[in-house]
Amino acid sequence: MLDLAVWHERIKGLDLELIKAKQTAWNTEELLATQGWCLWRCNVLGNDTIAIISDSVEGYIPEGYITYTEDELRRLFGDGYSLDPAMLRLIHEAKKFGAKVLGKVPYGQISWSSAN
C-alpha cells in the first residue's frame, strides 16, 4: 500500500534541495560576475572547498584552493550530464597536481593535461 504521507515528505525534501541548488547557482553567477570567483564546499569531495573561477577573470584568484573554471565545469556537468561521484573525486585528485579538464568526461574516460 502506498503511504502518501511518506511520499509527501520525500517530495518536500526534493523541493527543498531544488530550491537550495537554484539559490547556489544564482549566488555563484552573482559572485562570478562581480568578483570573478567564488568558493564552494563540496561534500562529494570530502567537504573540500574549491574555487570556481570565471572564464574571463583577470586579476585576483584565491590561493590555497583547487580551482575549476566555468569552462571545466561545463565540460564536466554541461548539457545535463551527470558525472559519477567516484570519477569526480579522481579528477579532483588529478587537479591537486595541476591537471586541467580538456574535454567532456564520458563515463569511464578522462581527458586532462598536466600544468607542468
pLDDT digits (tens, 9 = 90+) for 37-50: 999 998 889 889 99
pLDDT recorded at residue 38: 92
Question: In sequence order, what E strands does the chain have?
Answer: 37-42, 48-53, 66-69, 100-101, 112-113
96-115 b/e (C-beta count within 10 Å ≥ 16 → b): eeebbbeeebeeeeeebeee
Taking the model in full, what pTM does it have? 0.72
Mean pLDDT across the chain, nearest whole number? 80
pLDDT recorded at residue 3: 64
In tens, the pLDDT along 82-115 reads 778 888 899 999 999 988 888 775 654 555 555 5
